A and B are shown apart, each in its own frame.
Chain A
Amino acid sequence: MTQVATFAVEHSAYLDADGKALQPLPEALAQPDTLRALYRWMTLARAFDAKAIELQRTGRLGTYASCLGQEAAGVGVGYAMQPEDVLLPSFREQAVQLVRGVTATELLLYWGGDERGSDFHGPRQDFPISITVGGHAPHAAGVALAFKLRAEARVAVCAIGDGATSKGDLYEAMNVAGAWQLPLVFVVNNNQWAISMPRAEQSAARTLAQKAIAAGFTGEQVDGNDVVAVTDVVGKAIAHARAGGGPRLVECLTYRLSDHTTVDDASRYRSDEEVSRHWHEDPLKRLRLWLEREHGWSAEDDDACRAECEASITAAADAYLATPPQAPESLFDYLYETLPDDLRAQRDALLAEPRDEHGHG
């Protein structure tokens, strides 16, 4: 028997759960300004998450998928991307979207049930979030193909969860990305749970990163709670793709500290003890400890940072709550570029629907 191929999957980490360096931080990311900026984005994402849940619990937002505990995996990806790159996010990538310039008000509009929330004023070419699990992976291949055909130095970044790695859509997209050497980076936000299905039951594969190997490109793991590691490794994958080196897959090992969504109750399938254990891995805590130890970050600094983020999110929520509702006919107005004749009567019927009136006369 001859061995025809061997493969390895690498794992990277810089800061451990106690904020101690496992190896020297990469120089570009070790600067205090950079670290503070990363910390501020994570704080903002967490404040957004808390506000969204508060709004949902008081009847002012629809079902919402929290990203609690996954701020590093999000912020790192957003920070590693360039403005001209294109993000194709799953539904738990609020942190990446915020860094990309999608406003908190837009995110709330979307989760509040208003399509205008996906009309991003920042990253105009970024895709709206994909509720279909992995359904957007082939689009990422298409976007990356567009970059390649136009010889643009741009990269498509497809963010998916661990559940999507079981789907054919992702395999098809990874396969074609490998075959065509597309400038495409897949980021698997492995938070260990696909609703109630734990990672160990999701796949017998030792790592999710190794799925890339079958498609002919590198897959690697990173500590997804270590924003320095995520930024570094995803950044390198993006640079590699931008330089024409083809696709890569980065599996961020993190943990969903929240329920799957606001209509889920995670206590039905996992223990409080498990969740408490993972709070120890909190991505914000470890960077804060590092900043305190290495860069004189004080409790006052921390309070000020949190207060600033919360104020910014509160203002965004107020703007969301004050947004006038969409005109009902907008149902029809974006269906096609020009409303077909066949739909005019339906649009008129919508406008003529009897209102809920109690006016006497």
Chain B
Amino acid sequence: MSDNVFHLPDLGEGLTEAEIVTWHVRAGDRVKAGDPLVTVETDKAVVDIPAPRSAQIVECHGAEGDVVTVGAPLVTFQGGAADTGGVVGRLPEAAAVSAPAVEPPAPSAGQRQRVRASPKARQRARELGVDLATVQPQGAIIQAEDVERVAAASTTPGTATVVDAGKSSRDLADTSGATALRGVRRAMARRMADAHRRVVPALVTDEADISTWTDAQRPLPRLVRAIVAASAAEPLLNAWFDDAALTLNPQTGVQLGIAMETDDGLFVPVLRDAETRTLTEIGTAVTELEAAVRSRSIAPEALRGQTISLSNFGAVAGQHAQMVVVPPQVAIVGAGRAFERAAWVDGAARGQRVLPISLTFDHRAVTGVEACRFLLALLDDLHRSD
């Protein structure tokens, strides 16, 4: 519905709110683009806000005398095109930009009484593993050559001035071809590290018999439907875990994040309200998400709010995998590469097509039994023939 909501724009240069003076329309009215909707008073002026488009009004938000903040809903329209209001000079929300984490400098010996050394001497000391506190300078401050002299004199093992006589990893690595991570890849690096610090992952795997699937069936829509079914059977895995408050919040809707890779890196767009969709609708939605990711036209909102995730890594290779659960989610389902095998079924050998399934879950939030119950329901759905 948010597409039909017209939000209060910034009517000046950096104004933050306005007071509603007079409404010129009521719910149910039909307005033409340009018709006056409402008169508001800002810090700078009293101005009329016209209708941004022709449509019927469903709701007027706020009463006369109310103060409305810029960006808050003002009018809800029936139908019509999406509101693109507020495009001019819109600033990104500062809080939404993930800034690189700043590591505090490691405490060093003698931090309180700093050694007087040139920056270059400090650099060489780090490279050569020389403790500056042990270096006696020839001049007033320690210089690079003082450090090198000490390092050269202490090649004998056991000399106290040498902390680590070996080369630093920086000296050994070939860094000539290194490239700085950017954009999506950089975001991935930070997100994964964060997940790794916080989550306690546990893995359980199994195999689904998909012999009854038709050749035309793509695994993704089936996997989506199976996750919906499993979430209904065991809601604790379609949940958000707040590790600060230590609360587990099962989600009613299934907002399924589907991992998709591009040359730019990993995207996890969200298939919204998967529980409301038929298999065919799921198929269409997956195709649309794939196209949007490929063309990089995916909206930032479509990349947020996952309640559980899915990785179809088997589309490339691999059978089972330990995956990364990204907080606050508690589970991610992975599908490996399908393969054929001979299976012993009901006392007889027969050919079977099998899809390996992995389930990684955050053991802080759910138990092994809960996870297995989820997995069982998932397999049951995959086994269905339709």
Contacts and interface: CB of A to CB of B under 8 A. Distances in A.
- Asked whether any CB of A lies within 8 Å of a CB of B in the complex, the reply is yes
B187 A354 contact: yes
Contacts of B245: none
B98 A357 contact: yes
A361 B188 contact: yes
A360 B44 contact: no
Contacts of A359: 184, 187-188, 191, 266-269, 303
A144 B284 CA distance: 64
B87 interface: yes
A219 interface: no
Interface string B35-63: 00000000011111111100000000000
Contacts of B45: 259, 263-265, 267
Interface string A250-276: 000000000100111101000000000
A54 B47 CA distance: 11
Contact of B324 (A50, A63, A259, A361): A361
A263 B9 contact: no
A357 B9 contact: no
A341 interface: no
B86 interface: yes
Interface string B141-152: 000000000000
B359 to A, nearest CB: 17
Contacts of A112: 87-88
B72 interface: no
Contact of B86 (A59, A259, A263): A59
A72 interface: no
Interface stretch (B89-97, B127-135, B206-214, B232-240): B89-97
A61 interface: yes
Nearest to A317: B33
Given A356-B300, A360-B326, A57 B97 contact: no
Contacts of B10: 59
A360 B267 CA distance: 7
Interface in A323-361: 352, 354-361
Interface in A99-157: 112-113
B82 to A, nearest CB: 12
A60 interface: yes
Nearest to A63: B13
Given A356-B300, A360-B191, A57 B183 contact: no
B292 to A, nearest CB: 12
Given A60-B86, A264-B44, 10 more contacts: A51-B34, A58-B6, A58-B50, A263-B11, A354-B98, A355-B184, A360-B309, A361-B187, A361-B266, A361-B268
Contacts of A259: 45
A62 interface: yes
Contacts of A62: 88-89
A50 B33 CA distance: 12
Given A57-B47, A360-B268, A354 B88 contact: no
Nearest to B269: A359
Interface of A: 50-51, 54, 56-63, 112-113, 259, 262-265, 267, 321, 352, 354-361
Ranked nearest first, the 3 interchain pairs of A and B with the lowest CB-CB distance are A59-B9, A265-B45, A59-B86
17 contacts: A51-B34, A56-B11, A58-B50, A58-B85, A59-B7, A59-B9, A60-B52, A60-B85, A60-B86, A61-B88, A63-B12, A264-B44, A265-B45, A352-B183, A355-B187, A357-B303, A359-B191
Q: Which of B7, B45, B48 has the most CB of A within 10 A?
A: B45
Contacts of B191: 359-361
A57 B89 contact: no
A354 B99 CA distance: 8
B159 interface: no
Contacts of B109: none
Nearest to B309: A360
Given A358-B96, A361-B266, A113 B46 contact: no
A303 to B, nearest CB: 16
B84 A355 contact: no
Contact of A113 (B89, B180, B326): B89
A129 to B, nearest CB: 17
Nearest to B96: A356
A361 B180 CA distance: 19
A361 B300 CA distance: 14
Contact of A57 (B7, B48, B269, B309): B48
Contacts of A356: 92-93, 96-97, 300
A262 B11 contact: yes
Nearest to B266: A361
Contact of B87 (A57, A60, A267, A358): A60
A357 B87 contact: no
Contacts of A267: 45-46
Contacts of A61: 88
B192 interface: yes
Contacts of B48: 57
A262 B13 CA distance: 9
A90 B264 CA distance: 46
Nearest to B268: A360
Nearest to B15: A263
Given A259-B45, A264-B45, A265-B45, A354 B97 contact: yes
B304 interface: yes
Given A321-B84, A357-B98, A357-B184, A265 B44 contact: yes
A136 B362 CA distance: 66
A57 B45 CA distance: 12
B270 to A, nearest CB: 9
A263 B303 contact: no
